[in-house]
Each structure stands twice: as C-alpha cells, then as structure tokens.
Amino acid sequence: QSALTQPPSASGSPGQSVTISCTGTSSDVGGYNYVSWYQQHPGKAPKLMIYEVSKRPSGVPDRFSGFKSGNTASLTVSGLQAEDEADYYCSSYAGSIYLVFGGGTKLTVL
Amino acid sequence: QVQLQESGPGLVKPSETLSLTCSVSGDSVTSGSYYWSWIRQPPGKGLEWIGCIYYSGSTKYNPSLKSRVTISVDTSKNQFSLKLSSVTAADTAVYYCATVGASTYMDVWGRGTTVTVSS
C-alpha cells in the first residue's frame, strides 16, 4: 500500500481538463510544499512535470499545473492532448521517512 | 546536463545480493548539487523509493527496505551504487537511478535496468 493515495484511473476527451488528486497526511503532503508530479509513458522512465507543488521545470507545457490544499495535492492537465495519455505519480517529502510516492493514476485520453 | 546510466546483472538468484551501479556524466557526484537516488518499479506496479546518498556519504533509506539496502558513492569513478541483500521474487523490478533536488524532486532519471530474481 502506497503512502500517498491517488485514484487508479482518470480520463477526459481531447481539449478537456482533468484533475488527479494525491492525498497524504500532515506528515507529508500537508506538512511541506514539497510535492512533485511525474509522467511516465509505457516502457519509459518517469519525467518530472511539477515540483514544489506548482512549479514547472523548463520545457513542461503550461497546460500542466499543480495545487495543494491541506493534505491533498492535485495535478490538472488542461487542453488534453493524445500524448498526455500516461501514468502519473505524485511524491512528497515526508520528514523522517524522507520521500514517499503515490500509487499512480492511469490517464486515458478518450 | 546531467546524465545517468544504470548497469548490473539482469538476473539474480533468490537469497543473493543484487548489485547495481549508476554512472554519472555531466556533473560530479561530489558537486553537492543533488542527493543521488535509487527507485524501483515492479512489473505492472507503481514507483517505490529505495534510498539516496549525498556525496558526503549521508544516506536516507526507505524504512521498509532499510535492513537490506546499502547505497554508496565511488568518487573515483563518478558513480553511485545499490546493494540489496537477501532478494526474493518480490524484488523483481525495473531499477532507476535519479538525481534528487533539495525539495526531493527527481529531475534527471536513468533509463532503468530490469532485474529479475529467479533461480
């Protein structure tokens, strides 16, 4: 069982917006602004999409945005495109445990 | 631009020790810019953080694996390594190495290497 809880699946049609949640506790997500999001296509290494809750690395489209409220972080993908279909994982700093991942969400573009 | 490349045996026998190396190019493991980390992904499952090391030798490990894991740095070869002892089939996974920034984001990943535990 993963430390952070994500929905197993999410979906949307091209052009729509989809939001994926990541729920933790006050010891991880809620306690620090150190939530990251990763995109993973089949057979590929994960790619950093969001760090420190809402910051985008260079080269990541602004269609990807992050937010946090309390113990739940979220990733929103706006203007869905076919290439956004992938698995998405959240992670958080977790104090003495240091780092924890979510179980992952499979995003399907309908 | 930092690049990482995992290497090591693709097949390990049960009860033996899994050993992997991550070769670093484009930066020095002693630069102090990152923690250097290992993550794994069992077939069809999610990501699991294994542990990480700073150039000083300071380590952090996943509590669920801590008793079996050792991560070390070889500054002469600009590499860092993973040893996982007493492996079982449950340790079969793709193993990735990655850089870890100050706020625990992992922005550079290796391509991953598949390790199968089987007799």
What would the pLDDT profile of A19-30 be if each residue is shown by its tens digit?
999 999 999 999
The model's pLDDT over B28-73, given as tens digits with 9 standing for 90+, comes to: 999 988 999 999 999 999 999 999 999 899 999 999 999 999 999 9
Given pLDDT bands bounded at 50, 70 and 90, which one contains residue B26?
A: very high
The backbone torsions φ and ψ at residue A11, rounded to the nearest 5 degrees and listed phi first, read: -155, 160
What's the confidence (pLDDT) of residue A85?
A: 98
The backbone torsions φ and ψ at residue A38, rounded to the nearest 5 degrees and listed phi first, read: -130, 145
Contacts of residue A98 in chain B, CB cutoff 8 Å?
A: 49, 52, 60, 104
Given pLDDT bands bounded at 50, 70 and 90, which one contains residue A1?
A: low
| Torsion of Cα atoms, B85 then A3 then A65 then A59, to 10° | 0
Mean pLDDT for chain A overall: 96
Q: Compute the average pLDDT of residues B100-108.
A: 92
Contacts of residue B63 in chain A, CB cutoff 8 Å?
A: 97
Contacts of residue A104 in chain B, CB cutoff 8 Å?
A: 46-47
Residue B113 tokens read as: 């290497």
Q: Compute the average pLDDT of residues A44-59.
A: 97
Helix, strand, coil abundance in chain A, percent, nearest 5? 5, 50, 45
> Do the chains contact at A36 and B111, CB–CB below 8 Å?
no
Tell me how far apart the alpha carbons of residues B70 and B60 are, in angstroms, rounded to a whole number.
10
> Do the chains contact at A93 and B111, CB–CB below 8 Å?
no
DSSP E strands in B56-104: the ranges are 59-61, 69-74, 79-84, 93-100
What's the confidence (pLDDT) of residue B4?
A: 98
A44 min Cα distance to partner chain B (Å)? 7
**Is 60 exceeded by the pLDDT of residue A70?**
yes
**Buried b / exposed e along A77-99 (16+ C-beta atoms within 10 A):** bbebeeebbbbbbbbbbbeebbb
Q: Which amino acid is at B15?
A: S
What's the confidence (pLDDT) of residue A3?
A: 85
Q: Show which of residues 3-62 on chain A sit within 8 Å of chain B, judged by CB atoms.
A: 32-34, 36, 38, 40, 45-48, 51-52, 57
What's the confidence (pLDDT) of residue A96?
A: 83
Length of chain B: 119
B30 min Cα distance to partner chain A (Å)? 21
**Is 80 exceeded by the pLDDT of residue B79?**
yes
Contact B116, B20 (CB under 8 A): no
Q: In the A/B pair of chains, how many CB contacts fall below 8 A?
A: 64
The model's pLDDT over B6-23, given as tens digits with 9 standing for 90+, comes to: 999 999 999 999 999 999
